[in-house]
Amino acid sequence: METVEELMAKVQAQQDRVFEIQRSVERLEITGMSGTNGEVTVKLKGTGRFTEVSIDPRVLRYDADTVGALMVEAINDGLAKLAAATKRKFEPIMSEPQG
């Protein structure tokens, strides 16, 4: 049977691992794209903060609604990639037996 101190040490170790994983996620740099050739790209940090939006000048021949839709598609692609990367980083700790 584990002592309270041993249990607390395990909890602290797991919290430290979660903190380190969170930091590694925050350091990620993700690129989301839309269009058939990546006409619109967005870059975001693992914090979810967008740092760049790039629009291929050829896209500007489209109407505003189409350009807006391409931007939304690129943003959603970036957020989906961030969610998937975050899940991958947390999988090892989530798959550990809880006991």
Q: What does the pLDDT read at residue 72?
A: 97
Q: Which pLDDT belongs to residue 21?
A: 92
Instruction: Give me the pLDDT at residue 98, please.
Output: 63
DSSP one-letter string for 36-73: TTTSEEEEEETTS-EEEEEE-GGGGGS-HHHHHHHHHH
Instruction: Please give the pLDDT value at position 94.
Output: 81
The whole-number pLDDT of residue 35 equals 85
pTM: 0.81
Where the chain has pLDDT below 50, the residues are none
Q: Which domain holds residue 69?
A: 26-83
Q: pLDDT value at position 99?
A: 57
The tokens describing 37, both together, are 């050739």
Residue 76 is assigned to a structural domain of this protein: yes
Give the whole-angstrom CA distance, residue 63 versus residue 87.
37
CATH of the domain at 78: 3.30.1310.10
Question: Does a structural domain hold residue 35?
Answer: yes
Look at residue 59 and tell me if it is in a domain. yes
